Amino acid sequence: MQLASRFASRSPMLRADHPLSDEQIQRVAPSIFAEAPHESRSERYSYIPTAAVLAELRGEGFQPFMVCQTRVRDEGKREHTKHMIRLRHASQIAGSEANEIILLNSHDGTSSYQMLAGMFRFVCSNGLVCGDTVADVRVPHKGDVAGHVIEGAYEVLHGFERAQESRDAMQAITLDSGEAEVFARAALALKYDDPDKPAPITESQVLASRRFDDRRPDLWSVFNRTQENLTQGGLMGRSANGRRQRTRPVQGIDQSVRLNRALWLLADGMRQLKA
């Protein structure tokens, strides 16, 4: 089991290699178990606690393997702030990657229920988030929220077939050094999007492998190396004024999801160009 603060400073995240219990989840992400919506919500707000939805999903065979919640300055919102759960279905836990449903929600109005398709690589404990090409289900806080979330979970689950097809296609595509560098340059622009500040690291650093098996030149391996280096940080680079600095992990749930999805879409676009 791993307890870390990957999404933001002092914002805990818990991921385990077995389903998490309610007690474990509540210690890390208490907002999942909020007993009522934040006081700022109106009577039109349809409050369904994430814990109740989680119970429904468990009944359908989905189990939580990772939870986190955002850090807030207003302690009054700590019990209601945005949170994320990554769940796997019993039929999807196999091989070197596990398909996951990523559930985002809040009880303070900052987020609707949102579900995305994701993949988890056991080899590097690195969560990959698929883009709009697979599944993106949003459920507003009104009407039969729990029912719509369950329907959305199965919609995302069915979307994994398309994700598997894209992954297999990426593994069959070989990139030469020039194409890999173009991919890395585009990926750097996704994370460091300020035109007045050059990226602190180079394309070769983004493409560097952290393990032997990822050195392959296929698109899937290039994508995984790029994604891991940009999201996990730890690379030595230089700031705009020339000072040496070490890159930081991506902070915040929104930033992590946004960058991961953008990288998936970039890889999928490269796949289509090379097909």
Give the position of tokens 């039109």: 44
Instruction: Provide the whole-model pTM.
Output: 0.68
What is the rounded end-to-end Cα distance, in angstroms, of the chain?
40
Pair 72, 144 in one domain = yes
- 3-class secondary-structure state, position 115: strand
Is residue 39 a part of any domain in this protein?
Answer: yes
Q: How confident is the model at residue 2 (pLDDT cuts 50, 70, 90)?
A: very low
Residues 42 and 97 in one domain: yes
Residues 110 and 62 in one domain: yes
- Asked if 141 and 181 sit in the same domain, the reply is no
Cα-Cα-Cα-Cα torsion 41, 116, 227, 84, nearest 10 degrees, comes to 40
Instruction: Supply 254's token pair.
Output: 């929104």
Domain boundary among 108, 134, 160: 160
- Tens of pLDDT, residue by residue over 242-256, are 889 999 888 666 787
pLDDT band at 271 (very low <50, low <70, confident <90, very high): very high
Nearest to 72 by CA among 46, 106, 41, 23: 106
Angstrom distance (rounded) from CA 167 to CA 58:
27
Element (H, E) at 252: none
CA distance 135 to 117: 6
Q: Are residues 196 and 140 in the same domain?
A: no
Q: Which two tokens stand for residue 203?
A: 């394309």
Q: Please indicate, yes or no, if residue 172 is contained in any of the structural domains.
A: no
Query: Does residue 240 fall inside a structural domain?
Result: yes
How far is it, in rounded angstroms, from Cα 202 to Cα 191?
A: 13
What single-letter amino acid sits at 270? M
Of 129, 160, 191, which residue is a domain's last? 160
pLDDT of residue 203: 96
15 and 65 share one domain: yes
- Tokens at 266, concatenated: 């970039």
Task: Say if 169 falls within a structural domain.
Answer: no
Number of domains in the chain: 2
Contacts of 189 by beta carbon, 8 Å cutoff, 6+ apart: 199
Phi, psi of 97 (to 5 degrees): -130, 145
- In-domain check, residue 91: yes
Give yes or no for a contact between 251 and 116, defined as CB atoms under 8 angstroms apart: no
pLDDT at 189: 94
Q: Which of 143, 163, 186, 152 is nearest to 62 (CA)?
A: 152
Domain range spanning residue 183? 177-274
Q: Are residues 121 and 190 in the same domain?
A: no
Is the domain of 20 the same as that of 152? yes
Residues 115 and 193 in one domain: no
Determine, yes or no, domain membership for 167: no
Question: What pLDDT does 3 receive?
Answer: 35
Give alpha helix (H) positions in the chain. Answer: 22-28, 50-59, 145-171, 177-191, 203-207, 219-232, 253-274
Q: Which of 6-10, 67-71, 153-157 has the lowest mean pLDDT?
A: 6-10
The SS3 call for residue 173 is coil
- Which residue among 108, 129, 160 closes a domain? 160
61 and 133 inside one domain: yes
Give domain status of residue 170, yes or no.
no
In a domain, 107, yes or no: yes
Helix, strand or coil, per DSSP, at residue 212: helix
Question: Based on the domain organization, do 240 and 199 belong to the same domain?
Answer: yes
Same domain, 106 and 12: yes
Specify the higher pLDDT residue, 27 or 132: 27
